[in-house]
């Protein structure tokens, strides 16, 4: 039996786990599934043996975040003791030192992959390609921004099942049972009303369970591409945003704790207990900030000019020209020890800083 571990409440990784499950099932291997909350990552890594099957001694870890380097050195594994494979997505910052520590612990690690390819299996199979395209849509990475009603219903059903029973969702993906998700997605969700509809921000009011609010919010996001998007009910306020790091910074600054989170690729839905309309408006206004200012130190695992090229691009050794993050986000700036980045690029900028072990601080 092979154990598969993914982050809890990550829709993209539900699909990834389902395709990995399918891969092992086709090889006539049984699979045991674990969804582990990211706030339990220390307990997971320091007790990793509990997740490895005692007979097959195999473990597949998909897109799960690492601890700090010092904490990862405490992981109680020895080389060749178990067969452990770690597949990170490009949304995780895995430094050369991280990879070295993993290998010393006997954990094989592959280069980071696109979030919709973060599984073990055949990328060219018809079933896999179909689910990878769904995953790209969920991650807001698909080229086309128009989706069929069939696709919308599948995503709605997947959202509902993943929130209520993630193991069932993984098994249904492994079985390629899109009909199961489509039938769930065809069910009507409660009515909702748009209270604010600005060019880059939207606020919806609705009633219903968490899974229903997720469906309403995410389908609206797919159709209108306005982010941040807020949705409020009588009992909670949830917002969708493209920068989990900035959202966490704002919530900490407001002394608010999220009651739950749900990831869609690099995007995240976060629930809070903010129910006052004035505070909701102020919070959404802050979250809609277009540019974020960072104060950074000197990189420890790269030269300063290497960090500069990774962020801004430019010529390098041997006449090679580097494509930096600024190629896709032209208004990214790096002067002295300050980085001014679009909010949409913040996660990628921070991953680069982490990979080069560069200390940073969000200033505003």
Q: Residue 351 contacts by C-beta under 8 Å, 6 or more apart in sequence?
A: 90, 91, 92, 93
Q: pTM for this structure?
A: 0.92
pLDDT score recorded for residue 143: 63
pLDDT score recorded for residue 8: 95
pLDDT score recorded for residue 293: 97
Partners of 361 in the β-ladder: 295
DSSP 197-210: EETTEEEEEE-S-H
Question: Alpha-carbon distance 156 to 275, whole Å?
Answer: 26
- Taking residues 110-134, report their average pLDDT: 94
Confidence of residue 18 (pLDDT cuts 50, 70, 90): very high
pLDDT at residue 156 tops 90:
yes
- Taking residues 26-40, report their average pLDDT: 94
pLDDT score recorded for residue 1: 87
Confidence of residue 16 (pLDDT cuts 50, 70, 90): very high
Confidence of residue 221 (pLDDT cuts 50, 70, 90): confident
- Cis check: omega of the bond before 67, within 30 degrees of 0: no
Q: What length does the chain have?
A: 364
Dump pLDDT digits (tens) for 49-106. Answer: 999 988 888 999 999 999 999 999 999 998 888 999 999 999 998 999 999 999 999 9
pLDDT score recorded for residue 188: 85
pLDDT score recorded for residue 145: 65
pLDDT at residue 287 tops 70:
yes
Helix, strand, coil percentages, rounded to 5, for the chain: 45, 25, 35
- Taking residues 263-267, report their average pLDDT: 90
pLDDT score recorded for residue 190: 82
pLDDT at residue 144 tops 80:
no
**Mean pLDDT over all residues of the chain?**
92
Domain 192-287 coded CATH 3.10.310? yes
CATH number, domain 2-134, options 3.20.20, 1.10.540, 3.40.50, 3.30.420:
3.40.50
- Taking residues 251-266, report their average pLDDT: 92
Confidence of residue 10 (pLDDT cuts 50, 70, 90): very high
Question: Alpha-carbon distance 110 to 78, whole Å?
Answer: 19
Dump pLDDT digits (tens) for 157-185. Answer: 999 999 999 999 999 999 999 999 999 99
pLDDT score recorded for residue 247: 95
Select from 6, 10, 11 the least CA-distant residue to 51: 6
């Amino acid at each position: 039996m092979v154990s598969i571990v993914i982050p809890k409440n990550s829709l993209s990784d539900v699909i990834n786990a389902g395709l990995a499950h399918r891969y092992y099932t086709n090889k006539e291997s049984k699979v045991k599934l674990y969804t582990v909350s990211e706030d339990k990552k220390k307990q997971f890594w320091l007790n990793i043996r509990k997740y490895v099957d005692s007979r097959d001694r195999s473990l597949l870890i998909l897109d799960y975040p690492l601890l700090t380097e010092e904490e990862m050195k405490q992981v109680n594994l020895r080389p060749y003791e178990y067969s452990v494979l770690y597949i990170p997505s490009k949304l995780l910052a895995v430094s050369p030192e991280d990879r070295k520590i993993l290998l010393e612990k006997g954990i094989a690690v592959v280069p980071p992959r696109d979030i919709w390819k973060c599984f073990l299996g055949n990328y060219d199979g018809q079933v896999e390609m179909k689910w990878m395209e769904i995953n790209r849509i969920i991650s807001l990475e698909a080229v086309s921004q128009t989706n069929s009603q069939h696709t919308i219903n599948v995503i709605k059903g997947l959202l509902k099942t993943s929130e209520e029973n993630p193991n069932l969702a993984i098994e249904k993906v492994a079985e390629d049972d899109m009909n199961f998700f489509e039938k769930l997605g065809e069910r009507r969700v409660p009515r909702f009303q748009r209270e604010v509809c600005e060019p880059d921000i939207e606020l919806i009011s609705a009633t219903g369970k968490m899974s229903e609010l997720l469906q309403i919010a995410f389908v609206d996001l797919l159709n209108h591409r306005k982010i941040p998007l807020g949705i409020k009910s009588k009992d909670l306020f949830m917002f969708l945003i493209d920068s989990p790091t900035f959202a966490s910074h704002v919530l900490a600054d407001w002394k608010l704790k999220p009651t739950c989170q749900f990831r869609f690729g690099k995007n995240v839905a976060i629930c809070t207990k903010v129910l006052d309309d004035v505070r909701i408006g102020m919070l959404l206004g802050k979250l809609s900030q277009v540019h974020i200012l960072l104060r950074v130190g000197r990189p420890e695992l790269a030269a300063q000019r290497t960090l500069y090229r990774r962020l801004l691009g430019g010529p390098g050794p041997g006449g090679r020209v580097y494509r930096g993050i600024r190629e896709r986000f032209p208004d990214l700036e790096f002067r002295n020890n300050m980085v001014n980045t679009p909010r949409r690029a913040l996660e990628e900028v921070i991953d680069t800083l982490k990979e080069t072990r560069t200390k940073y601080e969000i200033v505003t």
